[in-house]
Amino acid sequence: MLATSWTGRRTVIRLGLLGTALLLLLTATIALSAESRSAAADRRGYGAESWVTSWSASPQRAIAGPLATRGLDHRTVRDIIVTSVGGDQLRLELTNLYGASPLQIGHLTVAVADPGAAVLPGTMNPVTYRGRASFQIPAGAQIRSDPVAMRVWPLQELAVSIYLPGQTPVAATFHADAQQVNWVSAAGDHAADLDAGAFSTAVPSWYYLSGLVVRSPGAIGTVVAFGDSITDGVGSDDDANARWPNDLARRLDALGGPTLSVTDAGIGGNRVLASSPSFGASAEARFGRDALDQPGVRDIIVLEGINDIGLSTSRRHPGTAIGAAPIIAGYRQLIARAHARGLKIFGGTLLPFAGAVYYTAAGEATREAVNAWIRTSGAFDGVIDFDAAMRDPADPLRLNPGYDSGDHLHPNDAGYQVMADAINLDMLLARHQ
């Protein structure tokens, strides 16, 4: 009887130990899964998958000019931007990346833009950082504001007003080619002004604003358009939001249902391999900040390399010619970094540029070699053949005249639409459905 009882108790103990082990294993698995989800969410920038980048402008160091020389002390900047997707909350990213001293923000607002520098009544919202309406951005830093409970819609223009109460760094952080008229006020805090009266100076650049992030339950991720002036929309009409990333956002929005936000990480004159005071950090140097670290990033489209070719083979830079191999090596680095994050990265072929100011036969040979590698190597997760879509059927070395802005390098509005239409949306959406 005792033996039977002891055997029964041993069975109960064993079962109890087994149950405890299973419980511990289950708890560890849940914890590991939660940690993995948390780490993935952190890579997206927040603790929720629904935060995506709805707009961005890659930071640059301001080149010499009246505003950079005079500074923006005691003035208000009103940056006009356009969403790619909407949401029920937003956060603003402000930048002092190239400032040599702290940047004081005295008042920050966001509202729905009206034509010019005015905003729609009833849409003005104050924006804080760590609960403060006035705050400082350290030299070399970027910050994201507290969430703002504001409903914004896809493809909607917003006005972000930044009052700068103190002495601003002489080396302002800005984005040079906005293809958008922005505004600087007369002296004083005009961040909450509804009318345009105080905003007397029109500027072609965005100052101190580098991102708009929205909480968008309908968005399943962010597509980063990463490139040079062609991605930046140079040659398109001002205030028309006619860059190819804008056109891509409109195509995605028209689908209905779950969608992707589109953010523009183009910089005029940018190169894969070399940084420049005028044309920004190289693609290799800025890829982490401007592409990999964007909230919600799922896909990256790379269209860059024509400036590496043109600027190295032109008569202005004799003896510095760059062949296809270094550019391809740069692409491989970007691809490896994207794949290490579990992201898809697509390669865009380089557009024709015969007739452009820095066109040469040697540069054309390099462009063709680079494009052949993009099309055939299989290194990218997919290819967007911008070259085929944009070239002149009668002269494939040139842009189609109907798509040429006039400089034989940058497309016009119609050309940018053709570029967006050349992107297979199923390729972007397939793994998210």
Number of residues assigned to the chain: 433
Tokens linked to 79: 């940056």
The domains of the chain are located at 51-210, 218-432
pTM of this prediction exceeds 0.85: yes
- DSSP labels for 7-41? HHHHHHHHHHHHHHHHHHHHHHHHHHHHHHHHHHH
Residues whose CB is less than 8 angstroms from the CB of residue 296 and which lie 6 or more positions away in sequence, other chains included: 44, 45, 49, 51, 52, 53, 219, 221, 222, 261
Residue 122, φ and ψ in degrees, nearest 5: 85, 0
How do strand 391-392 and strand 395-399 relate by DSSP bridges?
Answer: antiparallel
Helix or strand or coil: residue 395?
A: strand
> How many angstroms separate the CA atoms of 47 and 38, rounded?
7
Residue 17: how many CB atoms within 10 A of its CB?
10
Residues whose CB is less than 8 angstroms from the CB of residue 390 and which lie 6 or more positions away in sequence, other chains included: 351, 352, 399, 400, 403, 411, 415, 418, 419
- Which one-letter amino acid corresponds to residue 244? W
CA 126 vs. chain centroid, Å, equals 24
Tokens linked to 413: 């509005």
Look up the CATH number of domain 218-432.
3.40.50.1110
Strands of 201-203's sheet, edge to edge? 125-126, 107-112, 157-164, 75-82, 182-184, 201-203
- DSSP labels for 326-388? HHHHHHHHHHHHHHHTT-EEEEEPPPP-TTSTT--HHHHHHHHHHHHHHHHS--SSEEE-HHH
Tokens linked to 327: 């550019």
Residue 4, φ and ψ in degrees, nearest 5: -60, -40
Go through 269-295 and write b for each residue having 16 or more CB atoms within 10 A of its CB, e for each that does not: bbbbbbebeebbbbbbebbebbbbebb
Contact 382, 422 (CB under 8 A): no
Q: What is the pLDDT along the chain (433 residues), one digit of tens a residue?
A: 333 333 333 333 333 433 433 333 333 333 333 333 333 433 343 334 589 999 999 999 987 666 755 679 999 999 999 999 999 999 999 999 999 899 999 999 999 999 899 999 999 999 999 999 999 999 999 999 999 999 999 999 999 999 999 888 878 899 999 999 999 999 999 999 999 999 999 999 999 999 999 999 889 999 999 999 999 999 999 999 999 999 999 999 999 888 999 999 999 999 999 998 889 999 999 999 999 999 999 999 999 999 999 998 766 655 578 999 999 999 999 999 999 999 999 999 999 999 999 999 999 999 999 999 999 999 999 999 999 999 999 999 999 999 999 999 999 999 999 999 999 999 999 864 4
